Amino acid sequence: MVPRASRKKPAQSRSRHTVHVILEAAARVFDQHGMKATTNQIAEVAGVSVGSLYQYFPDKQALITELHERHRALVAEQLACAMDEAATRAMVEVVRRAVAGCVSVHRERPGLQRLLHLHGPQLSYPDKSSPAKVAVRRQVCQWLEAQLPAADPAAVMRATQTLLTLVESLVHDAVLDSSEPHDDAVEAENITRVVCGYLSQLAIGE
């Protein structure tokens, strides 16, 4: 199924700029007001008419879908940085860099991050259709393949899914729980230890 995150795809630089401005405004307004935010508020902050907003995003859910995709793209960028020259780095260092990057992405605009987490299941297109999610899974899978050259491909795919689910759950729990303050460095190190413990069971050495 093709993603339906926007009504019209921006083709010209001016249109792309308008979409960028709308999404930045949506991020700010959702961060402050959650799902109580309205498209009129977002259009006002963006400095565009609500009609212009609807040209690209038919409703709030379409905006949330696109913001969720941008969020995942940022996670993919952090993983790419962490895995740069991964062959020359110890496993624990690759994991530590990846986890720290994921924590930093989730720390930005915590109100928005909580909204994206809660409303992820109701995105405007199936989760499996997310290009950024596909990119993240491919990055992790390729890294695991390099660490486990003798492993069955199906086993590597299962390990990839388990690893992604584990990290996502732990990062969300550490960063999005607003009940008490968190030390991001401590949380990231704790997550790194848990992940490395799992990886050690797959016979990946440091």
Model confidence pLDDT, tens digit, residues 102-159: 999 988 888 898 888 876 655 555 556 678 888 889 989 999 998 888 888 999 999 9
Question: Is 147 within the bounds of a domain?
Answer: yes
Residue 33 located in a structural domain = yes
Q: Assess if residue 120 is contained within a domain.
A: yes
Confidence at residue 7, expressed as pLDDT on a 0 to 100 scale: 57
**CATH code at 57?**
1.10.357.10
Is the distance from CB of 114 to CB of 54 less than 8 angstroms? no
Residue 5 within any structural domain of the chain: no
Q: Residue type for 114, please? A: R
**Averaged pLDDT in 10-residue chunks for the chain of 206 residues:** 49 84 96 93 96 93 91 90 82 92 88 81 59 88 88 91 91 76 86 92 63
Dihedral Cα 153, 158, 162, 164, nearest 10 deg: 50
pTM for this structure? Answer: 0.81
**Total number of domains in the chain:** 1
Residues 6+ apart with CB under 8 A from 158: none
The Cα-based distances of 91 to 42, 56, 144, 192 in angstroms read 43, 43, 10, 10
Is residue 7 domain-resident? no
